A and B are shown apart, each in its own frame.
Chain A
Amino acid sequence: MKSDIWLAAGAAAVGTLLIRMLPLYWIQRRWQRAEGKETIMPSWPGVLAPLMIAALLGISMVPQNTGTEGWSATMMGSLVTLLIWHRTRTLGLPVAFGVAAYALVRMGGS
């Protein structure tokens, strides 16, 4: 990699880190000046955060194979994931069962 590409990579890395850290740094500075957290916390992140996760879900649900088989596997995997979550209320098991259901449908179709 040439030196200008290393510089670009460094700039992208520093810029990304600043995007991630500066909002929190700014909020911490405001905490230091204010009496308590609650008085200065905006309410919009509490609404926006789950909606951004929902958007990530929507993007990640598009299967690699966008034919009927890929969508069937996605639907079955999602259904099994939610059913197991409803029964267990845990993180790991629903994901494992969902992936297994997805794989079974994909294997059945290939």
Chain B
Amino acid sequence: MNGPVWRLGAREALPLLSGYLPVALSFGLIAGQAGFSAFEATALSLLIYAGASQFLFVGMVAGGAPPWLTVLMTLLINARHVVYSASLAPWLSGSRRWPWLMHGLTDQVFALAHYRLPLLAEQDRMSWFTSTALIAWLGWAGGTLIGSLVGEQIIDRWPLLADALSFALPALFLVLLAPGCTSVRRGAAIVASTLAALILALADMSSIAVPLAAAIGALCFYLLPETTGERRS
């Protein structure tokens, strides 16, 4: 175990937590309103650990949908995760622990790991990832528990706090993407993907926004000529 790298991972997970907490609080609150106990809601967060699909899961269960359909829809929403571990593979070793650690590979942890892992020495990567993923996982589950128990009181008392903290996630994504804009071509593809997802989310199509917007960004990337050389950021 590498102490400084563990601490670095824990510190870098903090912006994730400030983004997770308002959503986890809301999930705990909604799960409670849907008839799930605090223990059950927290168990869902620990086991499934995928925000949007958990909201769908409790919503479908509360609405009386058949369990097989609930599972199918949950997995369909999470299908985008299939490319995440493959994208990180160049920076991972052949250790058998890595596939199990992928339980912690949420959207946000993936974005952070995609930025950080290439900058770390090979022997430090597992410590960093374990620390970051563990803090994020426990933060998500803890936020769900608090939301189930006292979520309504917190949101009634500090409505602006939850709103302001929710901006931590877009701010973090901006910081993670900025160093990747190393050419006009890459920058244009990133802007195209961002705008496409924004428009799809406003059109209430968030569930398909990630793969569709990424495909639009990829189309833009491959259509643009390689006119400019890569510049260092």
Given contacts A8-B71, A12-B71, A102-B164, contact A57 B170 (CB under 8 A): yes
Report A57-95 CB contacts with B as 1/0, cut-off 8 Å. 111111111100000011001100110011001011011
User: How far is A4 from B61 in the complex, measured between Cα atoms in Å?
Assistant: 10
**Which residue of B has the minimal Cβ distance to A29?**
B94
Is the beta-carbon distance between A60 and B169 smaller than 8 angstroms? yes
Is the beta-carbon distance between B114 and A50 smaller than 8 angstroms? yes
User: How far is A45 from B85 in the complex, measured between Cα atoms in Å?
Assistant: 9
Note all chain A residues with C-beta closer than 8 A to B85. Answer: 20-21, 23-24, 27
Q: Is B12 an interface residue (CB 8 A)?
A: yes
Report A96-110 CB contacts with B as 1/0, cut-off 8 Å. 101100110011001
Stretch of B74-82, B136-144, B145-153, B223-231 at the chain-chain interface: B74-82
User: How far is A7 from B89 in the complex, measured between Cα atoms in Å?
Assistant: 32
A42, A60, A63, A99: most-surrounded residue (chain B CB, <10 A) = A60
Note all chain B residues with C-beta closer than 8 A to A106. Answer: 160, 163-164
Instruction: Find B36's partner among A1, A21, A41, A53 (CB 8 Å cutoff).
Output: A1
User: How far is A17 from B74 in the complex, measured between Cα atoms in Å?
Assistant: 12
- Secondary structure type dominating chain A contacts: helix
Least CB distance, B100 to chain A, in whole angstroms? 7
User: How far is A17 from B201 in the complex, measured between Cα atoms in Å?
Assistant: 26
Least CB distance, A86 to chain B, in whole angstroms? 8
Q: How many of chain B's residues touch chain A, expressed as a range?
A: 35 or more
Q: Is B50 an interface residue (CB 8 A)?
A: yes
Contacts A10-B47, A12-B57, A52-B193 supplied; 11 other A-B pairs, CB < 8 Å: A12-B70, A19-B81, A24-B102, A28-B89, A28-B99, A55-B197, A58-B195, A78-B170, A78-B174, A99-B18, A110-B160
Chain B residues within 8 Å of A, Cβ to Cβ: 11-12, 14-15, 18-19, 36-37, 40, 43-44, 47-50, 53, 57, 61, 67-68, 70-71, 74-75, 78-90, 92, 94, 98-100, 102-103, 105, 107-108, 110-111, 114-115, 160, 163-180, 186, 189-191, 193-202, 206, 209-214, 217-218, 221
Chain A residues within 8 Å of B, Cβ to Cβ: 1, 4-5, 7-13, 15-17, 19-25, 27-28, 31-32, 37, 41-42, 45-66, 73-74, 77-78, 81-82, 85-86, 89, 91-92, 94-96, 98-99, 102-103, 106-107, 110
